[in-house]
């Protein structure tokens, strides 16, 4: 597990945290950096509780002394902090390179606000620019999902794990990585794909992020949806 110290964007994200809040804790390098920055504040007396979006994040947060809840125990969350693989000018996102997008989307939808932390390399003109859209599918429906995705114009490949076997998510499912280019109507594409039997969800996060903290070297910029 990464032991990288908190980043400038992670420390800037702490400005959105208040004592007594329940926080969603995302998955991936940016989210882990935030968890480490948050743990420093908790050690100095900040009173918060966290809801992790993956087993990996749960293990990290627990090891750092952050009190955790399940989503059912928490109910509504105040703020979720997470990373992203692409961010467009509207602050819409593609997530899922870390294969946690379904739990991340559930936690984000359960939160009053979603704050995203990224490096400037994750900024794109159009979603899909990096060529990849993850889709989580139940193993039984994988073949059908791949065929239907192909009919929609998206070649999809099963994502392998480090041993070359099908990657298994925390939900016990597989991930199909769709080859994409610029997605002009991401919300419509998200709805169409999720109608395929066996598809759990996509990595498209449309109209969910409230703010994106962009790190450029040691400097950070906060982009807010109402100003996007």
Q: How far apart are CA 35 and CA 29, in angstroms?
A: 10
CA distance 184 to 196: 20
Q: Using an 8 Å Cβ cutoff, are 89 and 186 in contact? A: no
**Which of these is catalytic: 32, 86, 104, 142?**
104
Instruction: Give catalytic status of residue 120 as yes or no.
Output: no
**Catalytic residue positions, numbered:** 104
């Amino acid at each position: 597990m990464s032991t990288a110290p908190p980043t400038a964007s992670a420390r800037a994200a702490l400005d959105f945290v208040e004592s007594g809040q329940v926080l969603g804790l995302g998955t991936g390098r940016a989210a882990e950096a935030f968890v480490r920055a948050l743990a420093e504040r908790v050690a100095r007396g900040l009173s918060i509780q966290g809801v992790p979006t993956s087993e990996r994040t749960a293990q990290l947060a627990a090891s750092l002394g952050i009190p955790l809840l399940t989503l059912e125990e928490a109910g509504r969350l105040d703020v979720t902090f997470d990373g992203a693989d692409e961010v467009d000018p509207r602050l819409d996102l593609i997530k899922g390179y870390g294969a946690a997008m379904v739990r991340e989307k559930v936690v984000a939808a359960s939160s009053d606000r979603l704050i995203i932390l990224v490096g400037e390399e994750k900024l794109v003109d159009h979603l899909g620019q990096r060529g990849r859209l993850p889709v989580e599918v139940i193993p039984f429906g994988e073949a059908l999902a791949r065929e239907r995705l192909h009919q929609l114009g998206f070649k999809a490949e099963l994502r392998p794990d480090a041993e070359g076997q099908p990657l298994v998510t925390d939900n016990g499912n597989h991930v199909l990585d769709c080859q994409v280019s610029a997605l002009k109507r991401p919300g419509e594409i998200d709805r169409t794909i999720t109608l395929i039997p066996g598809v759990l969800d996509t990595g498209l996060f449309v109209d969910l992020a409230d703010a994106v903290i962009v790190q450029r070297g040691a400097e950070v910029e906060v982009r807010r949806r109402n100003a996007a």
